[in-house]
Amino acid sequence: MPMGEALLVVDVQRGFCPGGALAVADGDAVVPVANRVARAFGEVVLTQDWHPADHLSFASQHPPRRPFETIEMPYGPQTLWPDHCVMGSADAEFHPGLDIPHAGLVIRKGRRREVDSYSAFLEADRRTPTGLAGWLRERGVGRVVILGLATDFCVAWSALDARMMGFQAAVVEDGCRGIDLDGSVARAWAQMSSAGVMRLVSSAFG
């Protein structure tokens, strides 16, 4: 495996920052970290949650269910979310402070109504690839460094899938914030550690 590096900046969008529809506590604190770390990378990929308004991960599509309850979908358990990051909406826009003009690819996740998508590599059905793995390999990338929102969902799923697909993976801890549903942040870190995901801090990149 070649050992070039790429930075994966996960879902740094208005919807996951204070004032957004699915705000992560202190989520906007990742913005200056992402901007600073990105300067150390020639290859940068951004991901963007991009849902139709009637996406089946939204609690509004399953009355009387409420956000953060869990239901069974054909592909397994699904956390129900507030309506968020609807395609074309202000909520789905990147945070206005995100300044990474040299990013070479944007992966839009969750476009299909019937399947949620946390990972930058595979949709939640665990069968549908995004094409990111091939894009990275064609550029000689063997190690993926990840930061963004949220630690316990899209960041962790992306890191675990990176490892599953044969990449080395590292997560920049101070470049992430979590939702933390019933201890989900601690569980995510434990799963990532078991999978061989490195845990870094942004000062490692200058």
For the question of whether the overall pTM of this predicted structure is more than 0.75, the answer is yes
Could you count the other beta carbons within 10 Å of the beta carbon of residue 63? 7
Catalytic residue among 11, 28, 49, 83: 11
End-to-end Cα, the chain, rounded Å? 26
Strand partners, 13: 94
Inside any domain, residue 21: yes
39: which 2 tokens?
């300067």
Could you count the other beta carbons within 10 Å of the beta carbon of residue 183? 10
Catalytic residue among 28, 109, 116, 161: 109
49 catalytic per annotation: no
Inside any domain, residue 61: no
116-134 pLDDT, tens digit each: 999 999 999 999 999 999 9
15-56 pLDDT, tens digit each: 999 999 999 999 999 999 999 999 999 999 999 999 999 999
83 catalytic per annotation: no
Domain, as residue range, for 193: 4-52+88-205
Inside any domain, residue 135: yes
What's the half-sphere exposure (Cβ side, CA atoms, 13 Å) at 64? Answer: 0
11 catalytic per annotation: yes
Inside any domain, residue 70: no
Residue 129, preceding peptide bond in cis (omega within 30° of 0): no
Inside any domain, residue 177: yes
Inside any domain, residue 67: no
DSSP string for residues in 151-206: IIIIIHHHHHHHHHTT-EEEEEEEEEE---SSSHHHHHHHHHHHTT-EEE-GGGG-
Residue 64, preceding peptide bond in cis (omega within 30° of 0): yes
Inside any domain, residue 75: no
Catalytic residue among 17, 85, 154, 176: 154
Q: Please, which pLDDT band fits residue 171 given cuts at 50, 70 and 90?
A: very high
CATH number for position 200: 3.40.50.850
Instruction: Quote the number of domains for the chain.
Output: 1
Inside any domain, residue 81: no
Q: Can you tell me the mean pLDDT for 171-188?
A: 96
DSSP structural state of residue 51: B
